[in-house]
Amino acid sequence: MFKYSNAKSGRHFLQIPGPTNVPDRILRAIDRPTIDHRGPEFGVLGRKCLAGMQAIFQTTQPVVIYPASGTGAWEAALVNTLSPGDAVLMYESGHFATLWKNIAVKMGFKPEFIEGDWRHGAVPEAIEARLAEDKAHTIKAVAVVHNETSTGCVSRIPEIRAAIDRAGHPALLLVDTVSSIGSLEYKHDAWGADVTVGGSQKGLMLPPGMSFNAISAKALAAAKNSKSLKSFWGWEEMISINKNGYFPYTPNTNLLYGLSEAIEMLVEEEGLENVFARHHRFGEATRRAVRHWAQGGAMEILCQDEREHSDALTAVLLTQGHNADALRRVILENFDMSLGQGLGEVSGRVFRIGHLGDFNDLTLMGTLAGVEMGFEVAGIPYRKGGAQAAMDYLAECAKKPALKAAA
Amino acid sequence: MFKYSNAKSGRHFLQIPGPTNVPDRILRAIDRPTIDHRGPEFGVLGRKCLAGMQAIFQTTQPVVIYPASGTGAWEAALVNTLSPGDAVLMYESGHFATLWKNIAVKMGFKPEFIEGDWRHGAVPEAIEARLAEDKAHTIKAVAVVHNETSTGCVSRIPEIRAAIDRAGHPALLLVDTVSSIGSLEYKHDAWGADVTVGGSQKGLMLPPGMSFNAISAKALAAAKNSKSLKSFWGWEEMISINKNGYFPYTPNTNLLYGLSEAIEMLVEEEGLENVFARHHRFGEATRRAVRHWAQGGAMEILCQDEREHSDALTAVLLTQGHNADALRRVILENFDMSLGQGLGEVSGRVFRIGHLGDFNDLTLMGTLAGVEMGFEVAGIPYRKGGAQAAMDYLAECAKKPALKAAA
């Protein structure tokens, strides 16, 4: 009767930096009958989701919800604000910035791509310098990725906003927050973003298939002059009909059930500040683990600027001669955990630990233990004790409230 | 907008020694419409579940499935085989053995309870000595708990069978496997058990509400002479109607959907030998962690016999002056993990780590990290590095197949 089997016990550890683990509550919310998207019940759902997304983007301005994945919302940000031939200044922070630039090319815009090293966020000074040269204001928008999912580097959006302002340039600021919204602090209004692009499948803990544009008054004004052809992505009709909680075309109703649940969890129950603090704890614990392992000489954290470490994921760069994909395969086969692969320029040399979304201290410890055991099994040199270093930090964090209460 | 919240992120760690985590597959299987329990579709389901339970109990003899929790199957084992006033020799291995003895009293039998120290399984020599004295064969059955969930001690059933045989005594052997079946090796036929009692909510990974009797030919023969009043628990009608996959009264259809899925997972996909090996790995890793922590002077593994360590759970005894319930509270509040409390005689001094059911290496590491961080936060002395010791062992286990393949 005995036969060897690849059957898995327990839950898979989905520790790619998104799509992230969907909480049971959200799965159950989605698992309800689809309703009439023109009926009275839908309006309540639609209004709740639209208001909740304003809270999450920290804006009082319109948020548009697309029944499309994040790539669509990238396109929407461009085609609503720009006209064919318009120049847009983009920054090569990594793979996702590159993909967004490629869309701009395909859609007939003229992206100017500031070269980056994939180990930093967008450099505000470089943006300022380029805009200062653009006396004729031919650049119509600056587009940057807030949390670059391929590198684990965060671009400092308030500093980029300040750089644009210092250059006295009227360009719009377009920001991709697909892998940061709902995990890392982000303030659409206070930080002066004009269009913020978001997606459902990372910090919002939903399946993929839904995406967002948060839109400033300045962006809306620009949209009135945009000559780009658009229908599905067009803001005007969408915002007009959204006022009552409805959509101009068929919305993805069941993902809205899930979004409604996610809004309750993040905004009403845990509170965004707690969500951000929790992710910071995960990020710091992970970095302590990686720095400890790195003393074995075979790896380093990809992100090189202390100010720019992502609390949503950590990308680890292996030194020459070590294969990150082989390591990921060993970890998947032995410990049933998926880690993110190196993308584009860092393919094969980088693996990425996702620590965002529906995630807690003990899941993080399982994750870090799986990485550390993976080094051991794959024969990658590491200094033992990285998971222990993370544990020490998490236990210290847990002790803090008690210390405060005693004070 | 900011408010402190007790909202939890990520999955709760349910590490009590049962009810255990129910796999999503099983939850989805249960989540189907109830069907006619007299219709043709049901017979297929019933036959599959009955045959599957024979495979799990490792028997070719009848298995009865009750739509009732395990306490009922304890009662069934007694009322089917014994008559009012019959003597039954029971062994005080811990809290659950004591509860079974209490049922025997309530149902009008005369249990004789061999005193135990709650740190060992049932002692075969003690049973043999008592049976040898019983020349008149007034003792009709010996009842022992295979895996004592309150102590983490396993009774050595084959040795108890041999002890009964050496005494030349005709008593039936009744065995409780509620917390071992589907996790620890158990062979109803080969080990010579007469009635084996099982439950759905531990190794079988189902919600509570279903329980089992596996029944030997000798037990069936004894049942013919039993004078105990019974209806719901009666084997005869049940076994007769089971032949076609049906039940004499309403079965819990949706748990049978779940059981059918569990049988596929345990028997057909992973394979019972792999299931047992996996649990042994979890048990050994956990004991290595506890032995390491114990060098801090504040705890020990409750089970004192190396041959009797349970691979389904580990009970940890804290030294005087340390409160296990306070520790469990700290762990629940800080790390969202439920551990088993000390029951009966060891209340407040013992906590129990469940490592059975739908569970994998990384979940175990999250669990052990949570315990170790709990010691730190609660101020219980421990030697740091227990989780690391478990990790070292699990990584070694992962490396073994590779070593074998290379050999």
| Residues of chain A contacting residue B361, judged by C-beta atoms under 8 Å apart | 334-336, 369-370, 373
CA-based end-to-end distance of chain A: 63
What is the DSSP annotation of A123-164?
-HHHHHHHHHH-TT--EEEEEEESEETTTTEE--HHHHHHHH
Provide the domain count of chain B: 2
Question: Rounded to an integer, what distance in angstroms lies between the CA atom of residue A224 and that of residue A107?
Answer: 18
Residue A62 domain-assigned (yes or no)? yes
Contact flag B11-A24 (C-beta cutoff 8 Å)? yes
**Residue A308 shares a structural domain with residue A231:** no
Contact flag A363-B361 (C-beta cutoff 8 Å)? no
Provide the domain limits for residue B55.
24-269
**Residue B40 shares a structural domain with residue B65:** yes
Instruction: Enter the DSSP assignment of B270.
Output: I
- Final residue belonging to a domain, choices B269, B294, B311: B269
In B88-227, which ranges are continuous DSSP H helix? 95-106, 124-133, 157-166, 217-225
**Residue A229 shares a structural domain with residue A314:** no
**Residue A244 shares a structural domain with residue A349:** no
pLDDT for A152: 98
Residue B356 domain-assigned (yes or no)? yes
Residue B5 domain-assigned (yes or no)? no
Query: Closest Cα of chain A to B366: distance in Å?
Result: 4
Return the sign of the alpha-carbon dihedral for residues B76, B80, B82, B83: positive
Residue A337 domain-assigned (yes or no)? yes
**Residue B258 shares a structural domain with residue B140:** yes
pLDDT for A402: 56
pLDDT for B400: 87
- pLDDT tens, position by position, A202-221: 999 999 999 999 999 999 99
pLDDT for A6: 56
| Residues of chain B contacting residue A394, judged by C-beta atoms under 8 Å apart | 369, 373
Beta-carbon contacts below 8 Å between A and B: 166
**Residue B262 touches chain A, beta carbons under 8 Å:** no
**CATH code, B289:** 3.90.1150.10
- pLDDT tens, position by position, A275-319: 999 999 999 999 999 999 999 999 999 999 999 999 999 999 999
pLDDT for B182: 98
Question: Rounded to an integer, what distance in angstroms lies between the CA atom of residue B7 and that of residue A404?
Answer: 20
Contact flag A399-B377 (C-beta cutoff 8 Å)? yes
Query: Closest Cα of chain B to A114: distance in Å?
Result: 38
**Residue B284 shares a structural domain with residue B172:** no
- Residue B297 phi/psi, 5-degree rounding, is 95, 0
- pLDDT tens, position by position, B344-360: 989 999 999 999 999 99
**Residue A177 shares a structural domain with residue A318:** no
Contact flag B336-A360 (C-beta cutoff 8 Å)? yes
**Residue B207 shares a structural domain with residue B282:** no
Residue B88 domain-assigned (yes or no)? yes
The average pLDDT across A351-374 equals 98
- Helix or strand (DSSP H, E) at B393: helix B386-406
- Final residue belonging to a domain, choices A247, A269, A291: A269
Average pLDDT taken over every residue of chain A: 96
Residue A189 domain-assigned (yes or no)? yes
pLDDT for A8: 85
Closest-CA residue in chain B for A1? Answer: B271
Residue B6 domain-assigned (yes or no)? no
Does A36 have pLDDT greater than 70? yes
pLDDT for A7: 73
Radius of gyration of chain B (CA): 22
Instruction: Enter the DSSP assignment of B265.
Output: I
ipTM of the complex model: 0.91
**Residue A345 shares a structural domain with residue A243:** no
- Final residue belonging to a domain, choices A223, A239, A269: A269
CB within 8 A of A202, min separation 6: which ones?
Answer: A17, A18, A19, A20, A149, A178, A179, A180, A181, A182, A183, A312, A356, A357
In A173-252, which ranges are continuous DSSP H helix? 217-225, 235-242
**Residue A237 touches chain B, beta carbons under 8 Å:** no
Radius of gyration of chain A (CA): 22
Contact flag B11-A363 (C-beta cutoff 8 Å)? yes
In A295-352, which ranges are continuous DSSP H helix? 324-335
Residue A128 domain-assigned (yes or no)? yes
Query: Closest Cα of chain B to A3: distance in Å?
Result: 6
Two structure tokens written together for A386: 């990285």
Does A2 have pLDDT greater than 80? no
pLDDT for A400: 87
| Residues of chain A contacting residue B373, judged by C-beta atoms under 8 Å apart | 361, 391, 394-395, 398
The SS3 call for residue A8 is: coil
Query: Closest Cα of chain B to A183: distance in Å?
Result: 12
**Residue A167 shares a structural domain with residue A84:** yes
Closest-CA residue in chain A for B5? Answer: A270
- pLDDT tens, position by position, A59-79: 999 999 999 999 999 999 999
| Residues of chain A contacting residue B335, judged by C-beta atoms under 8 Å apart | 360-362, 398
- pLDDT tens, position by position, A164-184: 999 999 999 999 999 999 999
Across chain B, which has 407 residues, the per-10-residue mean pLDDT values are 60 96 96 96 98 98 97 98 98 98 98 98 98 98 98 98 98 98 98 98 97 98 98 97 97 97 97 97 98 98 98 97 97 97 95 97 98 98 98 96 51
Count H helices and E strands in chain B, helices first: 13, 14
- pLDDT tens, position by position, A82-132: 999 999 999 999 999 999 999 999 999 999 999 999 999 999 999 999 999
| Residues of chain A contacting residue B404, judged by C-beta atoms under 8 Å apart | none
Give the distance from CA A82 to its chain's centroid: 24
**Residue A185 shares a structural domain with residue A95:** yes
**CATH code, B71:** 3.40.640.10
**Residue A179 shares a structural domain with residue A53:** yes
| Residues of chain B contacting residue A391, judged by C-beta atoms under 8 Å apart | 369, 372-373, 387
